[in-house]
Structure 1
Amino acid sequence: MEDAPYRRIAAAIAARIASGELPPGARIPSTRQLMAEHGIAMATATKVLTTLREEGLVEAVRGVGTVVGRSTPAPADRALVVATAVTIADAEGLPGLSMRRLAGQLGLPTMAIYRYVADREDLILHMMDKVMGDNPPPPLTPQRDGRRACVEAIARLQWTMYRRHTWLAQAVSFTRPLPAPNAMAHTEWTIRALAGSALPPPARFTAAVTIANYVRGTAVNLAEEAQAEQDSGLTEREWMQAQQERISAVLADGRHPLMTAFITGPEAAHFSLDGLFEFGLQRLLDGLAPLL
């Protein structure tokens, strides 16, 4: 596991190497020194050095011990690391993003990534915050544009983000939210857009989160569809066409006349997640309208 003790210790040493604190040729603590410093067993200390050696960061020198390798990659910066992680996730989803995959893309040893982020959860937090920061709330005001227009605009902006970054909905949580400043800025903006309405302050927060949660909840399907298309090689429309025979067999007994009328009618061809989002958003706004 990436959070195993030997990996954490190896990551800390790799960070010192990447920062230049341990230059090429510098001695690395021996297994006995690691045991004494970290209170670990011999086997764990050996794993630390083995991991660093496998990453190409250190090498054994006869008569000297383990030293930093002579050719270590130039360090990146966190902005580049996060941007590269976003690019990988956009193309392959969160399942395709690992520390090893990211390091390979950057031309760095895997352990060097831990200089910039604490772990995978921290990496995803920075990725989410980058996307939110790249998409600040729209330049609307409730006084000039109206509260409903403001709320609708922020919802559409977030839907666009989820459409562009299908992994994002999986990274966002409303029950265990990560402390992402730019994500908080979206919520703050929405609460401010509701100021002066009939909603009391606590209800404004609830309304802002309800709207964001609706968008995110619908957008989760985008990631699932992207993964399904990647796994099957079929687009949503192609997959539906391939299921026509099975669907027809289920509908043939006449027990679902209303479903049959829709599925066999012209409207079915236009049904999409975008349409589902649009219909639900307008009904949500209709429900808030008397209070806005």
Structure 2
Amino acid sequence: MTKTTGTAGDPPYLRIVTAIRRRIADGELAPGDRVPSTRQIAGEWGVALATATKALTTLRLEGLVEARPRIGTVVAGTAPAAPARGRPPTAADPEQELSLDRIVRTAIGIADAEGLPALSMRGVAARLGVAAMSTYRYVPSKEDLVLHMADAAFGEASYPPDAPEDWRGRVELGARTLWGLYRKHPWLAHLDTLTRPLLVPGLIVHGEWMLAALDGHGLDPTTLFDIHVLLYSHVQGLAMHLEKEAHTEAATGQSEEQWMDSRGPALRELVESGRFPVFGRMLGAFEDGYDLRLDALFALGLTALLDGLAPLVEGRRAGS
């Protein structure tokens, strides 16, 4: 691929903008096609991630590209005329409108579209069109920013006053609410572990809901918390694969189906070895291969957990 780099006097981000703009104009990148990510741009052009982010931000302001959650940045449906060279689109002074909420929402947008590894304080500033150090007036570090992001993202869902009254219905609603948030923001699942939980109000709200659903059934505090942790680990554990798959696909350029197809010879060798008869028989039962469906696995696992927990929860209450 021949890169169009613009004139030598252009700043690096504008040379990148010119090159990607030309690819779109020439039809090399069609509407809906994924454009290079910030990391791919940084590697291809030898620039910092902040410079790559600024280039993508300029293309977004021009209306040439748009960010789509869990997909990345793609060519927009229409391609408006590009502005004159060296003159990015004008807008109101972003420094006048800067706030913690804008910073957090912008950072969430980056993480949703490109994954948490693509997030940086400089990248957020570039996306907002402000000086690199401006964001530090509102949040002192990336670690603090991520906590604000998590609090805001988990806080996007709440529970209705007319929620189910039975423990099982309330627990199921809580688990499905969390699953929906992880589906919307896959990076959330990678922020904490069971041994080092994320202590932000937005997440504690969901924990409080689960604990309240299980409270009052004669469970001792240890058992109650164990059940809560078990349910949370089911939701978070499956959700971790949402971000991993999106990141792997972006890094390798291969979809899940393409990856499996490339492993066909190795899989056939295992099956034909005769060492794994049940494994081979199960694979042979699928006409088009096994379809791993995380949403279905979540629902199946949740039902199994609730069925298994019912005698413990309801038996304690009956005996109390």
TM-score over 0.5 for the pair: yes
Higher RCO (C-alpha under 8 Å, 6+ residues apart): 1
In structure 2, the CA distance between the partners of 1:253 and 1:182, relative to structure 1 (3 Å rule), is: same
Instruction: Note the C-alpha offset of 1:184.
Output: 0.6
**Equivalent residue number for residue 279 of structure 1:** 300
In structure 2, the CA distance between the partners of 1:140 and 1:213, relative to structure 1 (3 Å rule), is: farther
Name the Cα RMSD after superposition.
2.0
- Decide which of 135, 146, 149 is 1:127's aligned counterpart: 149
Larger radius of gyration, structure 1 or 2? Answer: 1
Q: Distance in 1 between matches of 2:282 and 2:140?
A: 51
Instruction: Note the C-alpha offset of 1:138.
Output: 4.9
Q: TM-score, normalised by structure 2?
A: 0.64
* Higher mean C-alpha displacement, 102-111 vs 275-284: 275-284
SS in 2 for 1:135: coil
| C-alpha contact 1:197 1:291 (8 A) present in aligned 2 | no
**Equivalent residue number for residue 291 of structure 2:** 270
- Decide which of 211, 214, 218 is 2:238's aligned counterpart: 218
Q: Distance in 2 between matches of 1:126 and 1:287?
A: 36
1:47-100 CA distances to partner (integer Å, 9 max, x unpaired)?
xxxxxxxxxxxxxxxxxxxxxxxx994351011100010000001101010111
Instruction: Note the C-alpha offset of 1:239.
Output: 1.8
- Decide which of 257, 261, 265 is 1:245's aligned counterpart: 265
Q: TM-score, normalised by structure 1?
A: 0.70
Q: Distance in 2 between matches of 1:115 and 1:219?
A: 33
Q: Does 1:102 align with 2:124?
A: yes
| C-alpha contact 1:138 1:153 (8 A) present in aligned 2 | no
Instruction: Note the C-alpha offset of 1:275.
Output: 2.7
**Equivalent residue number for residue 106 of structure 2:** 84
Q: Distance in 1 between matches of 2:222 and 2:117?
A: 37
**Equivalent residue number for residue 80 of structure 2:** none
Q: Does 1:209 align with 2:235?
A: no
Q: Does 1:194 align with 2:190?
A: no
User: 1:243 is aligned with what amino acid?
Assistant: R
User: 1:253 is aligned with what amino acid?
Assistant: S
Instruction: Note the C-alpha offset of 1:273.
Output: 2.1
* Higher mean C-alpha displacement, 245-254 vs 275-284: 275-284
- Please state which structure has a larger fraction of its residues in helix: 1
Superposed, 1:61-80 pairs within 5 Å as: 73-80=95-102
Superposed, 1:7-86 pairs within 5 Å as: 73-86=95-108
**Equivalent residue number for residue 64 of structure 1:** none
Q: Does 1:159 align with 2:170?
A: no
- Decide which of 172, 183, 202 is 1:182's aligned counterpart: 202
User: 1:183 is aligned with what amino acid?
Assistant: L
Q: Distance in 2 between matches of 1:89 and 1:98?
A: 10
1:132-181 CA distances to partner (integer Å, 9 max, x unpaired)?
111123545453xx211111111111111111211110123332233311
1:248-281 CA distances to partner (integer Å, 9 max, x unpaired)?
1222111111111222322843332223222222
Please list every run of 5 or more consecutive structure 1 residues that lacks an aligned counterpart in the other structure. 1-70
Q: Distance in 1 between matches of 2:310 and 2:94?
A: 60
* Residue-pair matches, total: 220
In structure 2, the CA distance between the partners of 1:72 and 1:220, relative to structure 1 (3 Å rule), is: closer
User: 2:204 is aligned with what amino acid?
Assistant: M
* Higher mean C-alpha displacement, 97-106 vs 241-250: 241-250
SS in 2 for 1:287: helix
In structure 2, the CA distance between the partners of 1:202 and 1:141, relative to structure 1 (3 Å rule), is: farther
Segments ≥4 residues shifted beyond 6 Å: none
